[in-house]
A = this chain, B = another copy of it.
Amino acid sequence: MDDFRTQFPPAEFMAWFTAFTPLTAETVPLAQARGRVVAEPLTSREALPRCPRSLMDGYAVRAADTLACSGAEAVLTVAGEVATGTSGQAHTLRPGQAIRIWTGGELPQAADAVVRAEHTRALDRDIVAVLRPVAPHENVVQAGEDYTPGAIILQAGHRLRPQDLGMLAGLGIASAQVYRQPRVAIVSTGNELVAPDQTPPPGAIRNINSTTLTALVEEAGGLALPRGICPDNFDLLLTRCTEALREADLLLLTGGSSLGRHDCTRQVFAAVAGSEILVPGVSVRLGKPAILARQGNKALFGLPGHAASALVGFLRFVRPLIRLYSGLEATLGLPTIRAIIGRPIPSTPGREEYVRVRLTPQPGGAPPLAVPVSGKSGLLGPLVQAHGLLPIGPDAEELPEGAEVTVLLFP
């Protein structure tokens, strides 16, 4: 099943993702399967329902016996009741008889329809008048009408939602084969960084990206492996990356926003045993530079150090790959909303852009107004004030006030 939340297929970047395939499958119990993606088609081992069942409270009948009431009422003898949870097939309905039945109840043998209680009138304790005729199968679910034995109930690639899990429970299926969750190692580089629980000495700042990216990975369905801070040192970085890749399917290295660091990240990725640089950088604002390398089916991402750029780089490039590893399409997969541009937004032609916007509700059910909150990329405030990102294509020069646009909402 496709994910329809995304209207921005990142076509150009996706070409680089052909180097990667979904992860291996594993079996998980239903209670842990929400949001996971089916790796092998799931088939029903039994018919659902197993016997014909009533959809209404009323009387199980032979439909032919009710035809009389197209002119007058059809009068039937009440021959018993299928108490809820008891076997209906233990009863056999004879011509001229009706049997009391409840919603979900199993039909008696020879019964082929149910008359709703509202369309009957009790004439005596054991005699009921049917006010409207019913057709064969009316108000009845047939055996196997939902699923026949051996029917495919969920295809590979289907993301398991609450109702899918309920359906599997109803069929007695206790676990599912799903794609493994990507393990994502997160390394922050920078001599200036200290852990969030420390007071930074002069010239230092606390590590922000590790916290943000851990939460982003978890939201995207991955397992985050935060691997702390590494100084700007080629040998230390190479060791840290190599170790992280033993456990991880995907490595995020943040901090390459200055030119020297960008080069360093590229050199470290190139030096990782068995690795290959796929993309040395991307022309996008915010979010560049993003370096992509691979080691077999494992991906290495170099993300900028600025909090806003790292966030946009993750959503634009990393999240689709986490989705691909998880068995989904490699799309952004973010919820979207239509909005009206509240103030002209200039853009630099020739490069894709993601503008942080704040949304203001409008009266009368009109789309909200989107106003840019882009500040200096080193500031955190604009990122916290923004509700989402407005993608601007490389050909756009300016988005005029009043234009209707689609905004990607932050997860």
Give the shortest distance, in Å, between A150 (CB) and chain B (any CB): 15
Chain A interface residue count, Cβ-Cβ cutoff 8 angstroms: 105
- Would you give the 0/1 interface string for A357-377, flagging 1 where the beta carbon is closer than 8 Å to chain B? 001010001001000000011
User: What residues of chain B lie closer than 8 Å to A202, measured between beta carbons?
Assistant: 51, 86-90, 106
A370 to B305, CA, bound (A): 42
The answer to whether B84 touches A191 (Cβ under 8 A) is yes
User: What residues of chain B lie closer than 8 Å to A171, measured between beta carbons?
Assistant: 206
User: What residues of chain B lie closer than 8 Å to A141, measured between beta carbons?
Assistant: 376, 378-379
Give the shortest distance, in Å, between A4 (CB) and chain B (any CB): 5
A61 to B33, CA, bound (A): 57
CB closest residue in chain B, given A158: B384
A166 to B212, CA, bound (A): 5
Interface residues of A in 201-248 (CB under 8 A from B): 201-216, 218-219, 232
Give the shortest distance, in Å, between A6 (CB) and chain B (any CB): 10
The answer to whether A203 touches B260 (Cβ under 8 A) is no
Tell me whether A257 and B204 are in contact in the complex, defined as CB-CB below 8 angstroms, given that A359-B4, A384-B153, A410-B161 are known contacts. Answer: no
Tell me whether A197 and B209 are in contact in the complex, defined as CB-CB below 8 angstroms, given that A7-B365, A166-B380 are known contacts. Answer: no
A410 to B163, CA, bound (A): 9
Instruction: Out of B86, B164, B232, B384, name the residue touching A163 (CB < 8 Å).
Output: B384
User: What residues of chain B lie closer than 8 Å to A48, measured between beta carbons?
Assistant: 380
The answer to whether A5 touches B169 (Cβ under 8 A) is no
Instruction: Out of B161, B191, B305, B409, name the residue touching A5 (CB < 8 Å).
Output: B409
A169 to B380, CA, bound (A): 11
The answer to whether B378 touches A162 (Cβ under 8 A) is no
The answer to whether B163 touches A378 (Cβ under 8 A) is no
With most chain B CB atoms within 10 A of its CB, the pick from A2, A164, A196, A219 is A196
CB closest residue in chain B, given A339: B4
A110 to B328, CA, bound (A): 54
- Would you give the 0/1 interface string for A53-88, flagging 1 where the beta carbon is closer than 8 Å to chain B? 101010000000000000000000000001111111
The answer to whether B258 touches A380 (Cβ under 8 A) is no
Instruction: Out of B161, B211, B336, B377, name the residue touching A169 (CB < 8 Å).
Output: B211
The answer to whether B192 touches A172 (Cβ under 8 A) is no
User: What residues of chain B lie closer than 8 Å to A161, measured between beta carbons?
Assistant: 215, 410-411
Which stretch from A17-25, A97-105, A340-348, A394-402 is at the chain B interface? A97-105
Tell me whether A381 and B147 are in contact in the complex, defined as CB-CB below 8 angstroms, given that A162-B213, A232-B84 are known contacts. Answer: yes
A411 to B164, CA, bound (A): 11
Flag whether A288 is at the interface (Cβ < 8 A).
no
The answer to whether A1 touches B153 (Cβ under 8 A) is no
Flag whether A31 is at the interface (Cβ < 8 A).
yes
The answer to whether B232 touches A172 (Cβ under 8 A) is no
The answer to whether A196 touches B218 (Cβ under 8 A) is no
Flag whether A117 is at the interface (Cβ < 8 A).
yes
CB closest residue in chain B, given A314: B162
User: What residues of chain B lie closer than 8 Å to A169, measured between beta carbons?
Assistant: 196, 206-208, 210-212
A338 to B294, CA, bound (A): 37
Flag whether A180 is at the interface (Cβ < 8 A).
no
Flag whether A126 is at the interface (Cβ < 8 A).
no
Flag whether A154 is at the interface (Cβ < 8 A).
yes
The answer to whether A212 touches B387 (Cβ under 8 A) is no
What are 7 A-B contacts defined by CB distance under 8 Å?
A4-B368, A57-B260, A85-B192, A88-B202, A106-B202, A146-B381, A169-B208
9 tightest CB-CB pairs across the interface, nearest first? A166-B212, A85-B191, A87-B202, A162-B215, A85-B192, A169-B211, A169-B196, A335-B335, A170-B208
